[in-house]
Amino acid sequence: MKLDYLIDTNIFICLINEELREAIPNGILGYSIITQIELLSFPLLEKEEENLIKRYLNTLSEIPLNKIIAEKTIYLRRKYNLKTPDAIILATAWECQSVLLSNDQKLTNIKEVSVISLKTKN
């Protein structure tokens, strides 16, 4: 599936905490299934926060893992020595031919994926 933008977990966290100073761009938006796992597995997550996260996620395209994304994840982990969740999210953006929205500065050096940071209040 082609997306304009894939949203990284840290952008969702900024959105939920009302820390973004800049709007998420318009377009076809999606997220990696790993983002859902990361967001919903915080031990102290309150029910209200869980419901808010689920509402946000339900408005976007969910991209599941598949063999191609797994192969690209392996390639990116080997080439850039990335953590598995970061590599999965990058591989998902790469496979979906999308720009990754992320405030993780170390991801901006990945040649295979274009990464845009959004301004925050901090």
Q: Does 101 have pLDDT greater than 80?
A: yes
Q: Is 10 among the domain residues? A: yes
71 assigned to some structural domain:
yes
The answer to the question of residue 121 being in a domain is no
Residue 5 in this model has a pLDDT that exceeds 90: yes
Task: State residue 57's pLDDT score.
Answer: 97
Query: Is residue 32 scored above 80 in pLDDT?
Result: yes
pLDDT of residue 122 exceeding 90: no
- Give the separation between CA 118 and CA 103, rounded to whole angstroms: 6
- Average pLDDT, stretch 96-108? 96
CATH code, 29: 3.40.50.1010
- Per the domain annotation, does 95 fall within a domain? yes
At residue 68, the pLDDT reads 98
Instruction: Give the position of tokens 């976007």.
Output: 60
- Mean model confidence pLDDT for the chain: 96
pLDDT of residue 76: 98
Give the Cα separation of 22 and 64 in Å (integer): 27
The pLDDT assigned to 1 comes to 86
In a domain, 11, yes or no: yes
Distance CA 108, CA 114 (A): 7
What is the DSSP code (8-state) at residue 17?
T
Domain count, the chain: 1
Confidence of residue 53 (pLDDT cuts 50, 70, 90): very high
Question: How many whole angstroms separate alpha carbon 87 and alpha carbon 10?
Answer: 14
Residue 92 falls inside a structural domain: yes
Is residue 83 included in any domain, yes or no?
yes
122 lies in a domain?
A: no
Domain of residue 112 covers: 5-116
CA pair distance 101, 7, nearest whole angstrom: 5
Distance CA 5, CA 113 (A): 11
